[in-house]
Amino acid sequence: MSETTAHDDAHHGYRAGGVKRWLTTTNHKDIGTLYLVLSLIMFFIGGAMAMIIRLELFQPGLQFIEPQFYNSMTTMHALIMIFGAVMPAWTGFANWLVPMMIGAPDMALPRLNNWSFWILPFAFTLLLSTLFMPGGGPAGGWTMYPPLVLQTGEAFPFLIFAVHLMGASSIAGAINIIATVFNLRAPGMTLMKLPLFVWTWIITAFLLIAAMPVLAGAVTMLLTDKFFGTSFFSAAGGGDPVMFQHIFWFFGHPEVYILILPAFGIASAIIPTFARKPLFGYSSMVYAAASIAFLSFIVWAHHMFTVGMPLAGELFFMYATVLIAIPTGVKVFNWVATMWQGSMTFETPMLFAIAFVVLFTIGGFSGLMLGVTPVDFQYHDTYFVVAHFHYVLVTGSIFAIIAGAYFWLPKWTGHMYDERLGKVHFWLSTISVNVLFFPQHFLGLAGMPRRIPDYAVQFADWNMVSSVGGFVFGASQLLFVVAIIKCARGGVKASAQVWEGAHGLEWTLPSPPPFHSFSAPPDPATIEGGMR
Amino acid sequence: MTTAKIQPLLRGLTAALALAPLLAHAEWGNLNLPHGVTPYSETVYELHMLILWVCVITGIGVFGAIFYSIVRFRKSKGAVAAQWHENTFVEFLWTAVPAVILVVMAVPATKALIMMEDVSKSEMTIKVTGLQWRWRYDYIDQGVFLYSGLATTSNLARQLNSGIDPHTVENYLLEVDHELVVPVGRKIRFLTTASDVIHAWWVPALGWKRDAIPGYITESWALIKEPGVYRGQCAELCGKDHGFMPIVVRALPEAEYLVWLDQQKAAQKPKTAAIDQGNQHIAATR
Ligand SMILES: [Cu+2]
């Protein structure tokens, strides 16, 4: 994608070429590209681990890998996908889009921006290197519950430091986005005129700043428990293993919304564009996202209903959890109302966005079911949970990432992507992802626990179906790579507006946009008239 | 071209959602929660079906509206976009109606939870201890305990490339060497704990699972109505053999249970006597 940013403004002066350009860049588009490329690589590494998992689960009995390695695959798959694929993708989108959407030349803190990206390759090298260490990679689950996680071999401190680095990177990225949005908005771009992608990202950034240090604290306590004789989480030393779960999920639940809120922003950009109709309920979208973020801090214990909390605690967390259904419902209804009486066309971004709304809603339904404590005593730690969070993470976050990529690729590269390829990618992905994850609801309800390498024979049929779906879904993502490379290399020239129904400042810039997005503030009249 | 493709997809999804409970009613047990054999498991099943139906009906509404929009409001069919983007009444409605539905659902959920957490009036107590990778059951006040691990037949078959087809092994991965034997018709209190890492004790037919946590002893209860054999598994990741620590509960009529208990007591007397002696010895030397 090097042509993307080949334009240089005369006043900018020296720019390194080759590798040095990417190492030293402080440009928001270069850094956005770096984040997105890293995210794509991690998506395939994490995906390869998922393929190994589905291969072993293809039939009962152990055919390919030992249980310990299986456990390290599930653990690493989760860590890589969450911290390596989805979170960097969002930061990549934010880098590319936030300055263009608010009428700014670049991010507010360009050097911090460079640094926050370049931490990540080291973090993931550290994490992935554990697979080759004595004792193997971390295998206690991405949730790192003690005492089990303390049984990790030599990988343990590497796991902890990798998590620290990922956290530091996310916090730096979040600070940068907040600083950019609060300081670099063009004249006339008031908060309630911000595109929803920017809104959802500010809220996400605050969640990151509040949640990531909590995770850092929790894993640091694990580290001192292991190496420095403390017993924060060791019952034998007067500590409390359940306290780790409380701290972890105090991070972990906001983290869930860190992964999904920017997806809401992307859907809110794409659906009005292809429905050629303004987004329904802009302000209620903002308030819904904010209430979801607030609620995300008071529902953490619904991940641990089965630890045996007092009745009052279980009731509180159940009520708070099901309450989230209301603002989430508002969002879904608003998207549907946006399509209603629109004039729709179905280019690839719109197809992925519609699939996102439908399939994320299915994940929302199972989430509501899981929030009801007495029934969660059955669902908890089964494949029903696996189905739930893959519907919200894969067909939620990742579908939104793919939708957003197709939507803005023409803007970023200056070329249209191959529409036919995009559609084939869409149909293969959407059908196979449901073959992959829908049967897992049945498996969970029928009694299959999660995180097991082998299972009783009554679960064999649906596991085989699920694995077949998984292989097809994995393979179809190669089409995505082909589509991206083709688009970066050339194709039909994209206009500035790209999409007939597109509104917003980024569509007023040429495709690809200049090196410094807005060297002069955009016309306030464009902001007043063009934003919807 | 797109309609033709998206329509069957959406229809399929809605159908799949709607189908799950229908099939379940036809007792295709492999798709749905079991009814179970305790009053609590029945309550949970009904609550599960209630929420599932609420979701299915909401889903039909939402997905139906999307589907209708896709068919009806297409540019290719000459649809012209309206420009409205707010409607206070509708927005109020779709905030308030879900709120009311949630409150209605919260009532039976609260009742079920209160029922689950009420361990009073229990008639016997079994302590369940999770350890890597088996269970220990202590019949409190009976002087009887037993360890329960994966049966040898399953254990041989589950080795990497064992060459044994799991389909030929009876109750593959769900069979143990020593079953937990309990009486029917008695309210049994379970005390759950662990001695190394966290495990979770789960028998779906009882309607709940409970984490077994080192340093914690938590209470739950079950009243099994029908004699039978009920199988479950450890549900919390506990290391490499997490998938291989099943649970088998054999519920016997009261009289048969008492016979079994006496046999166990007789068999374990030497063991317990030795432990008692040891304890006395320790006490004496203090
Ligand atoms: Cu276990």
**What are the boundaries of each domain within chain B?**
31-117, 124-278
Q: Model confidence over A336-361: pLDDT tens digits?
A: 999 999 999 999 999 999 999 999 99
Active site (annotated) includes residue A331: yes
Tell me if residue A234 is catalytic. Answer: no
Split at pLDDT 50, 70, 90, the class of B277 is: low
pLDDT given for residue B271 in this prediction: 64
Ligand 1 centroid, distance to A444 Cα (angstroms): 18
Residue B4 has pLDDT above 50, yes or no: no
3-state SS, one letter per residue, for A412-426: HHCECCCHHHHHHHH
How confident is residue A11, by pLDDT bands cut at 50, 70 and 90? very low
Domain that holds residue A309: 70-224+246-530
In a domain, A57, yes or no: no
Percent of chain A, pLDDT > 90? 91
A198-222 average pLDDT score: 96
Indicate if A12 belongs to the active site.
Answer: no
Give the tens place of pLDDT for each residue, B103-154.
999 999 999 999 999 999 999 999 999 999 999 999 998 989 999 999 999 9
* Angstrom distance (rounded) from CA A45 to CA A54: 14
**Range list of H helices, B73-173:** 88-117, 152-157
Q: Do B69 and A71 touch (CB under 8 A)?
A: no
Residue written as tokens 């996908």? A81
Whether A375 sits inside 8 A of B83 (CB atoms) is no
**pLDDT tens across A94-133, in order?**
999 999 999 999 999 999 999 999 999 999 999 999 999 9
Residue A58 lies in a domain: no
CA distance B146 to chain A (A): 24
CA of B205 vs chain A CAs: smallest distance (Å) = 10
Using the predicted structure, report yes or no on whether residue B285 has a pLDDT greater than 80.
no
Name the helix (H) or strand (E) containing A353.
helix A348-371
CA-closest candidate to residue B33, choices A368, A319, A369: A369
Per-residue confidence (pLDDT) for residue B84, from 0 to 100 = 87
**Confidence (pLDDT) at A14:** 55
pLDDT of residue B164: 92
- Taking the CB of residue A304, how many other CB atoms lie within 10 A of it? 21
**Would residue A111 count as lying in a domain?**
yes
Total tally of structural domains belonging to chain A: 1
Cross-strand partners of B144: B139
- Stretch among A30-44, A298-312, A510-524 having the lowest mean pLDDT: A510-524
Which chain B positions have a beta carbon within 8 Å of A278's beta carbon?
83, 85
Q: Contact A143/A248 with Cβ under 8 angstroms?
A: yes
Q: Worst-scoring range by mean pLDDT, A6-20, B26-40, B144-158, B217-231?
A: A6-20
Nearest to B55 among A282, A304, A369 (CB): A369
pLDDT higher than threshold 50 for residue B1: no
Q: Residue B189 belongs to what H/E stretch? A: strand B187-194
Kindly write down the DSSP assignment for every residue of B136-147, as one continuous string.
EEEETTTTEEEE
- What is the per-residue pLDDT across A374-406, written as a single tens digit (0 to 9) for each? 999 999 999 999 999 999 999 999 999 999 999
* pLDDT tens per residue across span B27-68: 344 788 999 999 999 999 999 999 999 999 999 999 999 999
Confidence check: pLDDT of B14 > 70 = no
Statement: residue B211 has pLDDT above 60: yes
The residues, any chain, with a CB within 8 Å of residue A188's CB and separated by 6 or more, are A524, A527, A528
pLDDT at A1: 36
Q: Is A374 within 8 Å of B160 when comparing Cβ atoms? A: no
**Chain B contact for A309, CB < 8 A?**
no
- The model's pTM is 0.91
Other beta carbons within 10 Å of B190: 22
Residue for token pair 């990618």 = A425
Q: With a CB-CB cutoff of 8 Å, which residues 104-123 of chain A face chain B? A: none
Cβ-nearest to B86 among A281, A378, A461: A281
A196 within some domain: yes
CATH code, B124-278: 2.60.40.420
Subunit contact B58:A430, Cβ cutoff 8 A: no
Question: Residues B199, B130: contact at Cβ < 8 Å?
Answer: yes
Residue type, A529: G
Cβ-Cβ pairs closer than 8 A, A with B, add up to 302
The token pair that represents B7 in the structure block: 């329509």
- pLDDT 10s digits, A232-274: 999 999 999 999 999 999 999 999 999 999 999 999 999 999 9
| Tens digit of each residue's pLDDT (9 = 90 or more) over A132-150 | 998 899 999 999 999 999 9
- Does some domain include residue A61? no
Q: How would residue A13 be classed by pLDDT, with cut points 50, 70 and 90?
A: very low
Number of neighbouring beta carbons within 10 Å of residue A13: 7
Q: What is the DSSP string of A243-285?
A: HHHHHHHHHHHHHHHHHHHHHHHHHHHHHHHHHTSPPTTHHHH
Report the alpha-carbon distance of residue A438 to residue A462 in Å, rounded: 10
A371 belongs to a structural domain:
yes
Q: State pLDDT tens for residues A53-101.
A: 999 999 999 999 999 999 999 999 999 999 999 999 999 999 999 999 9
Tokens linked to A516: 């410094």
What percentage of residues in chain A have a pLDDT greater than 70? 96
Partners of A299 on chain B (C-beta within 8 Å) are none
Asked whether the predicted pLDDT for residue A10 surpasses 50, the reply is no
- Give SS3 for B106: helix
CATH number reported for the structural domain that contains residue A201 in this entry: 1.20.210.10
Predicted interface score ipTM higher than 0.85: yes
**Yes or no: is domain B31-117 CATH 1.10.287.90?**
yes
Residue in the structure block whose two tokens are 């794509």: A40
CA distance A69 to B126: 35
Chain mean pLDDT for chain B: 87
